[in-house]
């Protein structure tokens, strides 16, 4: 099984899961780059996975889907073209490529946002980013904090496939939020080198995110000192971080 990032728009990635000549696509906001890749490599789409309803994640469904192709998406969101609504506790299984994912509810960015976990990886849409997290559009800080904690509880080696190339901007905020994090500084240099070479900074993994992502480090004394919230709950620290990032 191979997982390929297909760039779309200015900073999106459509993930393509390939085995042989069969492929599943994740969050195809734009059909055109996906169709070009499929044609170039003589691939056939056998399924589509959707994490949430925003247009840059669903805009290509209509052009890519066919009656025989299952389109999985969040049951709590109305998305045209979804044939198999799923929610936390459900599973997704396909034969070609041979895939099995458990569905996780990860609301906050949107009301019904879901993630797909299996094969040592997670497709998490706009909930968890490399060194950051999604904005809160429909949910609450409490929901997004709980969703991030659920993702962080997965095994540390879990590879994280999110859908935006926001890493360098996120790392600038992470440096402001937690100034004394040498692991983050080393990671930032590695990520800058990747971008300088025209390479994506994804996927990442949960062990790395636990070490460098301030939104997963609400218990860090340095983060708490920056916010002057040494005695606050982790949830309160997260809420303050997310509000600051909105204005950063």
> Given 56, 76, 105, 205, which residue is catalytic?
56
Active-site annotation holds for 41: no
Total Cβ atoms within 10 A of residue 119: 16
Alpha-helix runs per DSSP H in the chain:
31-41, 55-58, 61-64, 141-152, 167-177, 182-196, 206-212, 221-227, 234-247
Angle at 16 between CA 174 and CA 79, to 5 degrees: 85
Catalytic residue among 30, 76, 126, 205: 126
Q: Which of 27, 30, 54, 205 is catalytic?
A: 54
164 is catalytic: yes
User: Quick check: is 54 catalytic?
Assistant: yes
For 137-174, b/e burial (b = at least 16 CB within 10 A) is: eebebebbbbbbebbbebeeebebbbbbbbbebbbebb
Catalytic residue among 30, 53, 109, 145: 109
- Active-site residue among 27, 30, 53, 57? 57
Is 119 an annotated catalytic residue? Answer: no
* Residue among 53, 117, 145, 164 flagged as catalytic: 164
53 given a catalytic annotation: no
Q: Of residues 52, 113, 117, 145, which has the active-site annotation?
A: 52
Task: Give catalytic residue positions.
Answer: 52, 54, 56-57, 109, 126, 164
């Amino acid at each position: 099984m191979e997982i390929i990032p297909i760039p779309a728009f200015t900073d999106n990635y459509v993930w393509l899961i390939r085995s042989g000549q069969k492929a599943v696509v994740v969050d195809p906001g734009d059909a055109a780059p996906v169709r070009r890749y499929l044609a170039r490599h003589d691939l056939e789409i056998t399924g589509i996975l959707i994490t949430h309803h925003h247009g840059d994640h669903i805009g290509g469904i209509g052009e890519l889907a066919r009656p025989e192709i299952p389109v999985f998406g969040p049951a709590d969101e109305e998305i045209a073209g979804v044939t198999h609504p799923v929610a936390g506790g459900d599973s997704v299984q396909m034969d070609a490529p041979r895939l099995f994912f458990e569905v996780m509810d990860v609301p906050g960015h949107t009301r019904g946002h879901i993630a797909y976990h299996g094969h040592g990886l997670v497709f998490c849409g706009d909930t968890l980013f490399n060194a950051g997290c999604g904005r809160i559009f429909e949910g609450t800080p409490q929901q997004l904090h709980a969703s991030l904690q659920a993702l962080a509880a997965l095994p540390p080696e879990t590879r994280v496939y999110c859908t935006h190339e926001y890493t360098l901007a996120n790392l600038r905020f992470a440096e402001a939020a937690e100034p004394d994090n040498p692991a983050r500084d080393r990671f930032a240099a590695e990520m800058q080198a990747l971008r300088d070479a025209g390479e994506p900074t994804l996927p990442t993994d949960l062990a790395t995110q636990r070490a460098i992502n301030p939104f997963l480090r609400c218990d860090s004394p340095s983060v708490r000192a920056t916010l002057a919230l040494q005695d606050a709950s982790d949830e309160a620290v997260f809420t303050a971080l997310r509000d600051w990032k909105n204005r950063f």
